[in-house]
Structures are given as C-alpha cells and as structure tokens.
Amino acid sequence: IIDEAKRSLHDALCVVRNLVRDNRVVYGGGAAEIACSLAVEDAAVKTPGLEQYAMRAFSEALDAVPMALAQNSGLNPISTLAEIKSQQAKAGPSDRGKLGVDCMGRGNNNMKDAFVIDPLIGKKQQLQLATQLCRMVLKVNNVIVSGSGEEDF
C-alpha cells in the first residue's frame, strides 16, 4: 500500500509540475484523442494519394486511448467509442472536444461538466513520443529473415 501511495503522490506532483510549466488543459476521458481522431480523419478525406492511408491509420491509433478507458471501465469499447464519436461529430465546434468516456457511469459524457481535465503538456508529450516511436519502427531498413535450418539458433 505504501508503494502505491508513493506512486500516486509522485504522479500528482508531476501533474502539478506540468501545470506550473504550462497551465493549459484539455478535457480528459479520451475527449481530446477522439477530437484529434475526427480532425485527422476529416483531413484524410481531403488528402489525395497514399498519404490518406497513413492518416487514417493514425486516426485509428488515436482511438486506442478511449477504447482502453471504456474497456477498463467495464463498458463495451466499440459501441462506446462509436457513440461518443457520433456525438462529437454532431456537436458544435465549442462542444466537440468536451465529450469523452463516462468512466464513472454517471450518464454524462461531457468532461467539462464532470471536471475531467488533463494537462496539455502531458498530452503533447504522449502524442510526440508515440509518433516518434512509430517513425523509428517504420525507418528500420533491415529485414531479418529467419532461416529454415536449426543452425540459426
């Protein structure tokens, strides 16, 4: 229990540190990721050529966070994500980034009303690190082909 308390206190202090560095916030519960996913998908539709496939794959990757939140909350991740994406697509520009996964089961997906926020600096770091990792994986130019013989082991 003490180790968990130490970890929780460390996490809380890191959030405060991030807010001191940059006090801008985004709505949590996967709302920011869903809004970004919809924006990337809209841009992919307008992009000609093969780039649109990479953009759509990135859009799907952004959906992993709200899917994990829904699944960890005991909700059906696919139907939950589809419902929230539909609500965000129908919402006006001022409400689009506020709708996320209702992890507490209160019946309200509006993260502003639920006071669920995340520091913007943390979200930016998460997206930048994930994107850098994907780029590094895609830049691997050596393919290792496993042999059929036992001498490879």
Strand-pairing partners, residue 99, are: 110
- Residue 102 resides in a domain: yes
pLDDT band at residue 139 using 50, 70 and 90 as cut-offs: confident
**pTM for the full model?**
0.79
Q: For the ranges 21-25, 80-84, 88-92, 144-148, which has the lowest average pLDDT?
A: 144-148
- Residue 13 resides in a domain: no
Could you tell me if 112 and 20 are in contact, meaning their C-beta atoms sit under 8 angstroms apart? no
**Total number of domains constituting the chain:** 1
User: What's residue 143's pLDDT?
Assistant: 63
What is d(CA 109, CA 101) in angstroms, rounded to the nearest whole number?
Answer: 6
Our measurement of the distance from residue 4's CA atom to the centroid of its chain's CA atoms, rounded to an integer in Å, reads: 25
Residue 40 structural domain:
25-129
Instruction: Flag whether pLDDT at 9 surpasses 90.
Output: yes
* pLDDT, averaged across the chain: 86
- Residue 17 resides in a domain: no
- Residue 2 resides in a domain: no
Write the CATH number for 105: 1.10.560.10
